[in-house]
Structure 1
Amino acid sequence: MNPVLQVIIMAITGALIGGLTNTIAIKMLFKPYHAKYLFGKRLPLTPGVIPMRREEASTKLGEIVTGHLLTPEVFQEKLKSPETDRLIMHFIDRQIETIEEEKLSPSYFLERLSKGLTEKIIHAFNKEIEDKVTQEAKHLYSRDIEDVLPKDAMTAIEYKVDHLAYDINGKISDYLASEKGYRDIYTMVDEFTENRGKLASSIKYFMTKESLASRVQSELLKLISQEKMIAIEKKVIVDEFEKLKSSSINELITEEDRSQILVSVIKVLQEKIDIRTILNTPIIDFNRDLFEDFKAKGKYKLKDNLVNYSSKNMTKIINKLQLADVIKKQIDSFELSKLESLVMDVANKEFKMIMLLGYLLGGIVGVFQGIFVLFF
């Protein structure tokens, strides 16, 4: 055979072997997608390298991305960049404009978070008022009156009680000495002498009703003005007051009264703290000066607080997001054909270069083999 032709044939053969070997090797990165079996035994090199190591590769890729690419330091640096600063301020400004122009209320934002959240908050708030008032009422009703009233009020009441006997006696004396008191006594004397039998009626033969009424009036005034009578009255009043002080509120009011008081207090508090009106009030109407101050200065402090808080807690935020798991799940969710297409799109030029290099190196090896055969 012609030596030159022999070298050419061996070069072509080497090139084909090298190129086809590299092409098959690249194809075997993905194919076959699934294991192949012959007589119940899995054939070697099936499935392809990437399908076989898919879970391991996705886990490793997630660790690489979160460990070396999307690190807390990277996010912190990005948060503090001028671009992010402008983006956050633009977002805050747009929200302020929307709140002002559309007169948005807290209820609007609550409904954006979750449908029906406003009603849930209103119900929960009113229920909390009801529960707290009921709880405090039970505690209050079980306490003694002496413990409920403030000390200053109790001191004032005790002072009044000490002088109450004198006040009562003064009122009674004024009444007995008055024209009305005399007429009432005269009426009682008249009824006594006319309706209490012969002995009582015989008195009118010895004394006139007028003189008898005047005598009774005089004696009653003397009796009322005696210190002993005042002391008796005072003792009775003080004893009753002491009993009242040591009594619990439960002993003084009925269950029906307690229920009515409870309902009234709850209703008044719920009307005074009208949470529905508060939540439906436009934010700018709560305090216009405060809103303007926030527009001028407060928004910058809000931005700084957001950035500082996010920066300090970035490690926790990333851990909560579990980015490595998210990346792994996303990769695992890809169909193998889709994953192969993505890899091929990214490394298509490199794979072509590998195949061409296989042909080139195979051809060079073939040439050297042909020369070696000719000379040796």
Structure 2
Amino acid sequence: MNTVGLIIFMVVTGSLIAGFTNMLAIRMLFRPYEAKYIFGIKLPFSPGVIPSRRSEASTKLGKIITGHLLTPDVFINKVKSPETDRFIMNFIDRQIATIEEEKLSIGYFLERLHPGLSEKVISGFNQELENKISEESDRLYTSRIEDLVPRDAMHTIDMKVMQFQPEIIRKLEAYMTSDKGYEDLYIMTDEFIEKRGRVAKSLKYFMTKENIALNIQKELVKLINHPKMFEIMERFIMEEYTKVKGRTVNDFLSEDDKEELVSSISSVLEERIDIRSLLDRPIIEFNKEYFISFKERGKYRLKDNTIDYLAHNMGRIMDKLQLAEVIKKQIDSFELAHIENLVMEVAKKEFQMITLLGFILGAVIGLFQGIVVVLL
């Protein structure tokens, strides 16, 4: 082989070896996707570099993105940007217009969150209302009467009870001296005389029934106005009143009566509150003046508060989102062929340049080697 042919052979050989080596190296970044075995022995460089380091690469990539690219400061700056301000303001305006034009209700938004949520809210509210009433009734059921009445009201009742005795005396005296009182005394006197045998009947020969009734009437009036009777009645009223105050509600109501009362109160409150009509009522009808005020001025405060909340809590929000873990899971979920295609599409020109550079460098090295061989 002559000198020129040898040099050309060395150049072509070096170019092909270097070029195909680079092509094979690029190919081995992804291929093979899985480990290959011959006679139970794992072949070296299988699987490819990226498949074998996939989990480690996705973890580091997630940390790099969240640690240097998608940091809380980046999101905070974005949230505080004029573009975000306009976006949030436009979003609020659209929602206000929709609520006003379509007369949307709270129930509508609940159903949008989850079908059947309105019914759950209604049943939950009514159940909670009944539970609270039942709990309070259990407490009141074993409470004393005087503990249930407010102190000021109890004092007023005490004063009223102390005035019962003079009032009762006045009522009794008015009754005794009235025609009705005389008539009742006459009837009772007549029945007493007629039913008590001869001795009692003989009284009517000495006194008329009218006189007997009049004398009884006078004596009863004297009796109820006697100072001792005042003391007896006052003591009796206060003793009975004190007993009543010290008794508990369950002394007056049975368990069945309590349950019936609780059910009745719950039904009345559910009917009066009517949470269903409140949920179905258009939002703008709750308070039109407040809605207009919110539409004109309140929406700006809502926008500012939303931005401030997002800015101040962005770190915690990102911690809750766990973006690094999300990125890792997304990358791990990709098929290797899909990742390979993505990388190849993005770096296709660069890989071609690397392959071409391999051919060129191989040719240069081959030329150098050919010259060295000829000179030696």
User: What TM-score do the two structures reach when normalised by structure 1?
Assistant: 0.97
CA distance in structure 1 between the aligned counterparts of 2:308 and 2:92, rounded to whole angstroms: 16
Q: Which residue of 2 aligns with 1:281?
A: 281
For the pair 1:189 / 2:193, whether they are aligned, the reply is no
For the pair 1:314 / 2:314, whether they are aligned, the reply is yes
**Which residue identity does 1:89 align to in structure 2?**
M
Q: Which residue of 1 aligns with 2:147?
A: 147
CA distance in structure 2 between the aligned counterparts of 1:33 and 1:193, rounded to whole angstroms: 124
Q: For 2:31, what is the secondary structure of its paired residue?
A: coil
Q: Which residue of 2 aligns with 1:177?
A: 177
Q: Which residue of 2 aligns with 1:328?
A: 328
Q: For 1:345, what is the secondary structure of its paired residue?
A: helix
Q: Show structure 1 runs of 4+ deviating over 4 A.
A: none
Equivalent residues in 2 for 1:1-376, closer than 5 Å: 1-376=1-376
**Which residue identity does 2:49 align to in structure 1?**
V
**Which residue identity does 1:64 align to in structure 2?**
I
CA distance in structure 1 between the aligned counterparts of 2:362 and 2:264, rounded to whole angstroms: 98
Give CA deviations for 1:237-293 in whole Å, capped at 9, x if unaligned: 111111111111211223333223222222222222221111111111111111111
**Which residue identity does 1:21 align to in structure 2?**
T
CA distance in structure 1 between the aligned counterparts of 2:26 and 2:195, rounded to whole angstroms: 134
Tell me how far 1:299 sits from its aligned partner: 1.2
Tell me how far 1:227 sits from its aligned partner: 1.1
Give the number of aligned pairs: 376
Q: For 1:58, what is the secondary structure of its paired residue?
A: helix
CA distance in structure 2 between the aligned counterparts of 1:49 and 1:151, rounded to whole angstroms: 84
CA distance in structure 2 between the aligned counterparts of 1:275 and 1:171, rounded to whole angstroms: 51
**Which residue identity does 1:304 align to in structure 2?**
D
CA distance in structure 2 between the aligned counterparts of 1:132 and 1:232, rounded to whole angstroms: 45
Give CA deviations for 1:106-129 in whole Å, capped at 9, x if unaligned: 111111111111111111111111
**Which residue identity does 1:203 align to in structure 2?**
L
Structure 2 unmatched ranges of 5 or more: none
**Which residue identity does 1:35 align to in structure 2?**
A
Structure 1 unmatched ranges of 5 or more: none
CA distance in structure 2 between the aligned counterparts of 1:18 and 1:355, rounded to whole angstroms: 8
CA distance in structure 2 between the aligned counterparts of 1:333 and 1:253, rounded to whole angstroms: 68
Q: For 1:115, what is the secondary structure of its paired residue?
A: coil
**Which residue identity does 1:32 align to in structure 2?**
P
Q: For 1:47, what is the secondary structure of its paired residue?
A: coil
Tell me how far 1:41 sits from its aligned partner: 0.7
CA distance in structure 1 between the aligned counterparts of 2:139 and 2:178, rounded to whole angstroms: 49
Give CA deviations for 1:284-343 in whole Å, capped at 9, x if unaligned: 111111111111111111111111111111111111111111111111111111111111
Give CA deviations for 1:72-129 in whole Å, capped at 9, x if unaligned: 1111111111111111111111111111111111111111111111111111111111
CA distance in structure 2 between the aligned counterparts of 1:17 and 1:193, rounded to whole angstroms: 147
Tell me how far 1:63 sits from its aligned partner: 1.0
Aligned-residue identity in percent: 56
Give CA deviations for 1:159-217 in whole Å, capped at 9, x if unaligned: 22222222111111111111121122122222222232110111111111222221111
CA distance in structure 2 between the aligned counterparts of 1:41 and 1:155, rounded to whole angstroms: 99
Please report the RMSD computed on the Cα atoms of aligned residues, expressed in angstroms. 1.3
Give CA deviations for 1:215-249 in whole Å, capped at 9, x if unaligned: 11111111121111121111111111111111112
CA distance in structure 2 between the aligned counterparts of 1:278 and 1:109, rounded to whole angstroms: 13
**Which residue identity does 1:91 align to in structure 2?**
F
CA distance in structure 2 between the aligned counterparts of 1:10 and 1:163, rounded to whole angstroms: 132
**Which residue identity does 1:356 align to in structure 2?**
L
**Which residue identity does 2:219 align to in structure 1?**
E
